[in-house]
Amino acid sequence: MEQFDTIVLLSGGLDSAVILAEAVYEGKKVFALSFDYCQRHRQELSFAKRLTHHYDVKHLILKIDPHSFGQSSLVTHKKVPKNRSSDEIIAGGICSTYVPARNTLFLAYALGQAELHEASEILYGPTALDKHCFPDCDAEYVSAMQGVINCAMRKTVPQLRAPLLEMDKKQIVERALELQVPIEKTLSCYDPLPNGTHCGQCDACVIRQEALEAASI
């Protein structure tokens, strides 16, 4: 079985693209892992493919039954919140775009791949803003999951890292520019248009656009 240094959870969005680029820049042999759970923004998977082709890394897309994720607006026809400012997003706390246990399931699959390929680390992309809105995106969760990993693994015990956890979106955009990430090959939108472009109104779009403007892009 082929060995890899790093398993990267790759959504196709800007945050995970930066994590992927950073790992490649550091000379690590990367295995990118994405998930199809019939999410309404599943166009992001085509952007994930573009990124892995750009960086020439191995990529696997796994399917998960969307019924695992309850009534999140990302897997149902419920309306996605739109036209909120970044302050309103933070103050609003957990909203309908939260997908219960999603990161836990994703990381469980990543553990399997890490053991299979003897990877020494798993990277995923929560940010400083995410930890205000989603319970599986803060330092406490990362630490707890590392405890699970320490107990669950048989051979290699990978380190779970969240490199963007203390970075805001502007800082992430600036890092993307430093790493020459092809931002045009990323999709950060909860409700993209049929042609695969950003809706410009959902929380993800608002935060992305504010960061791009702050970075003068």
Domain of 51?
A: 6-214
Query: Does residue 44 belong to any structural domain of this protein?
Result: yes
Q: How high is the pLDDT of residue 176?
A: 98
Query: Does residue 149 belong to any structural domain of this protein?
Result: yes
> For 198-207, which contacts have Cβ atoms below 8 Å and span 24 or more sequence positions?
199/82, 201/82, 201/83, 202/80, 202/81, 202/82, 202/97, 203/80, 203/81, 203/82, 203/84, 203/89, 203/95, 203/97, 204/13, 206/83, 206/84, 206/85, 206/86, 206/89, 207/86, 207/89, 207/129, 207/169
Query: Does residue 1 belong to any structural domain of this protein?
Result: no
Q: Write the pLDDT tens digit of every residue in 115-124.
A: 999 999 999 9
* CATH number where 94 lies: 3.40.50.620
Q: Write the pLDDT tens digit of every residue in 32-78.
A: 999 999 999 999 999 999 999 999 999 999 999 988 877 899 988 88
Query: Does residue 33 belong to any structural domain of this protein?
Result: yes
Q: How high is the pLDDT of residue 84?
A: 92
Query: Does residue 148 belong to any structural domain of this protein?
Result: yes
Q: Write the pLDDT tens digit of every residue in 125-143.
A: 999 989 888 889 999 999 9
- Average per-residue pLDDT in the chain? 93
Q: How high is the pLDDT of residue 32?
A: 98
Closest CA to 191 of 16, 35, 23, 72: 72
- The stretch 189-202 carries a mean pLDDT of 94
Report pTM: 0.95
For the chain, how many structural domains are there in total? 1
